[in-house]
Homo-oligomer: A and B are copies of this chain.
Amino acid sequence: MLNHDYEEEKIRSMNIHIKIGIVIGYLAVTATFNASAGNLLPYVNPMVGTKSMGHTFPGACAPFGLVQLSPDTEMVPHNIGGIYQPDAYRYCTGYQYDDKTIVGFSHTHFNGTGHSDLGDILVMPATGEVKLDKGTAEHPESGYRSRFSHEHEKAEAGYYSVLLEDYGIRAEMTATERVGVHRYTFPKGTQTGHIVLDLNYGIYHYDGKVLMANVRVEDSCTLTGYRITRGWSRMNYTHFAVKFSKPITTYGCRNNEEVLYKGFWRRFDMTKNFPEMFGKHLTAYFEFDFSDGRPLEVQVAFSPVDCLGARKNLEAETGGKSFDEVRKATQAKWEKELGCIRIEADDDTKAVFYTALYHTMINPSVYQDVDGRYRGVDHNIHQAAEGQTNYTVFSVWDTFRAQHPLMNLIKPSRSVQFVHSMLNHYRQSVHHALPVWSHMGNENWCMIGYHSVSVVADALAKGLVVDKKLALDACINSSNLDYYDGIAEYKKLGYVPLERSGSAASVTLEYSYDDWAISELAKRMKVLDVEKEYAKRACSYRNIFDPLLGFARPKHQDGTFKKDFDLLDTHGQGFIEGNSWNYSFFVPHDVNGLMRLMGGEKRFVRRLDSLFTMRLPAKYFENTEDINEEGLIGNYVHGNEPSHHVPYLYKWTDEPWKSEARLHEIMRRMYRNRIDGLSGNDDCGQMSAWYIFSALGFYPVCPGTDQYVIGSPLVKEAIVQLENGKNFIVRTKHASAENVYVKSIRLNGLPYRKAYITHADILGGGEIEFEMCTRPNKKSAAYEKPYSMTKRE
């Protein structure tokens, strides 16, 4: 039976509620604003998103660095569905604000993902008896774990500090791209203390995650070692080199592993002062003399290649530097990176804005040694080509939307390296495919689509210089990987059938867009046959629209639509991270065509209206990750990406102003300067990048075009300092919480009557001025509409 209950005609009678403003929450951790002019760091609040579903980490990192040195709070595998396994979702970055204890400080963390991994090389300082167990949250004293309180915790871009209450140790963290730097100030009068190096710890940990780990005591102040893990990444090689500021006085380890060949163990006491520690379940400790009253500084460098690489990285980035020197240099880097956009706004908005901008500059992460070597997705050791730097952590299903387009705008010289990295991934991939979701030299195939083609097409649309032929080949091959998620059937039938994928409808919609991106790229390169072929494929979305419903509805192999179809259910309906009502709007390349399928523009607008206004019954979200009632606006879910472009779709209609109020509502409700300030996973910067664009007043609805669809800016003023040396200025007149509508636009002083601006408009420098007001400007209906593959009726 079809669920027609929520068809838009009925919904019009439903309770319409638009709330603008701040929902009162519990006590928020907010940034303190003692910023001097031009000082942006005080507006960055790394605690934002650490509670609930933001999945951000509070620790220290350098922009786009390999190292994110951050406290981990829990991560005890527990019984899920009868299997003892890690909580892959809640502890994506190892830290949850509500936890009361810290296990230690590990060096690698994703920014805001929806699946977990990493947490490599855990360091924990302690006093007293050496404990090599983690201990439990309930009884931290049963291990090396310590209680902590948010009162004694401080997080800045590039700096983190916390008091470990069980030991009275002040722990401070900073980092360069490849080196985590710790400073542990032990309580006054401490004679001896130690650190635990737990190579058996990890995020997404289970018995068997660590394939092998080892530590070598190279000299009294230096360790090297590596471990290989099998977690979300199939094999993650983490090589490290450690430099202590004090000599080790004594050390040892425990390896809870049944070893077949006992030749070593019979010969030596390998548990104490034996400089080569090795095992699948290895935990080591190192004692130091604190009678001089000085803190212990620990530098931990990483390499994807080998320990020699890690040592070189350490020497190059932190060699001979103190904690304070590293912190200062890294925070200066953040200041510089964040300075590419200078805004005027109230302090709270500034905090949300710069925290978001900060979150867009964590992933992708550099994955290459200072000597140019890196481990490819083929696990071979490659030497980077001249002028190239390899990056990893590509959550492409999320980031193709706004994160990569944002980088193409504000960080093109970095972004071009991301594209090089993707193209190298393609060359190294045995599937001859661009990344889907890749990290640390592994493809984990998470989520759907082949959206790297969008990233590549957008980069070329924005003028980034990469090997075009390689780029097009990569896109063509990635979209013809027949065994991947129904591509063969998609090519044959024009849609992915339900028999092939549980997300068949989502996949079909997304392949259609991706194919448009390839067509557009081919067009740009004047490869006409490819352009034509993919332009045809780009229409495939039409094949799964139910003409009766006007919604996307998955089909079976035999061409029939799925029976028992529920438009509002996110699960089991042929969609993923979105129900049909939301997902049906995912035709960013042909909004005009979509409108036709939905029954014309009027019906399209009503449907958008009802999306935001219907009251979604609890059964549709109460058991769903990423969504709670606070994260909903009607049936619109901002915490998941498929809807991110949706509020902008009014811009294709004659009621374009409707976007403007919705955008302000989303910006204010879904982004807060609070620990739970993110309404969903930050997803490697996508959530944050959406905010940056939207706050500036424009958004890349269809990456691969050179257009940004104009929304409604939140900032009073913004200066985008482009890498080409020019400034693009966004100015708003009469900006206020009530003035959410755009009365008029001027570009470089002239009245502007398009619903979009182009990349060239921005790159040329100049100024766009928005006059804001409380009421819609109905004349904007006449503005030139944004790009659509097919014409408006």
Chain A interface residues toward B at CB < 8 A: 85, 204, 206, 208-209, 211-212, 214, 216-218, 224, 226, 228, 230-232, 234-235, 260-261, 263-264, 267-269, 273-276, 278, 305-308, 378-382, 430-431, 444-446, 483-485
Contacts and interface: CB of A to CB of B under 8 A. Distances in A.
B307 A380 contact: yes
A457 to B, nearest CB: 24
A379 B212 contact: no
B228 A278 contact: no
Contact of A445 (B217, B264, B379): B264
Given A216-B378, A273-B483, A308-B381, 10 more contacts: A212-B228, A216-B430, A218-B430, A228-B228, A234-B264, A234-B278, A261-B444, A267-B445, A274-B483, A275-B430
A590 B308 CA distance: 44
Contact of A484 (B230, B261, B268, B379): B268
B431 A275 contact: yes
Contact of A231 (B217, B230, B261): B261
Contacts of A305: 381
> A206, A216, A307, A380: which has the most chain B beta carbons within 10 Å?
A380
Contact of A267 (B218, B263, B484): B484
A263 B234 CA distance: 11
A616 to B, nearest CB: 28
A566 B414 CA distance: 75
Contacts of A276: 430-431
B228 A380 contact: no
Contacts of A231: 260-261
Nearest to A232: B261
Given A267-B485, A276-B430, A430-B276, A379 B211 contact: no
Contacts of A209: 260
Contacts of A214: 379
19 contacts: A204-B261, A208-B260, A209-B260, A211-B211, A212-B230, A212-B234, A214-B379, A224-B378, A231-B261, A263-B445, A263-B446, A264-B445, A268-B445, A274-B483, A276-B430, A305-B381, A306-B380, A307-B378, A308-B382
Given A264-B445, A445-B267, A211 B228 contact: yes
Contacts of A204: 260-261
Contacts of A273: 483
A278 B235 CA distance: 10
Contact of A260 (B206, B212, B235, B378): B206
B206 A379 contact: no
A212 B230 CA distance: 9
B235 A306 contact: no
Nearest to A264: B445
A718 to B, nearest CB: 39
Contacts of A212: 211, 228, 230, 234-235
A226 B380 CA distance: 10
A702 B463 CA distance: 74
Contacts of A224: 378
Contacts of A307: 378-380
A788 B312 CA distance: 49
A224 B263 CA distance: 33
A430 B217 contact: yes
Contacts of A218: 430
Contacts of A444: 261, 263-264
A790 to B, nearest CB: 32
A278 B212 CA distance: 17
B445 A306 contact: no
Nearest to A307: B380
Smallest CB-CB A-B distances: 7 pairs: A216-B430, A306-B380, A308-B380, A211-B211, A275-B430, A276-B430, A306-B381
A209 B261 CA distance: 11
Contacts of A485: 267
A218 B380 CA distance: 14
A567 to B, nearest CB: 25
Contacts of A85: 260
Contacts of A216: 378, 430
A510 to B, nearest CB: 14
A377 to B, nearest CB: 10
Contacts of A446: 263
Given A228-B212, A484-B267, A381 B381 contact: yes
Nearest to A205: B260
A430 B276 CA distance: 7
Nearest to A269: B483
Contacts of A278: 234
Contacts of A206: 260
A490 to B, nearest CB: 14
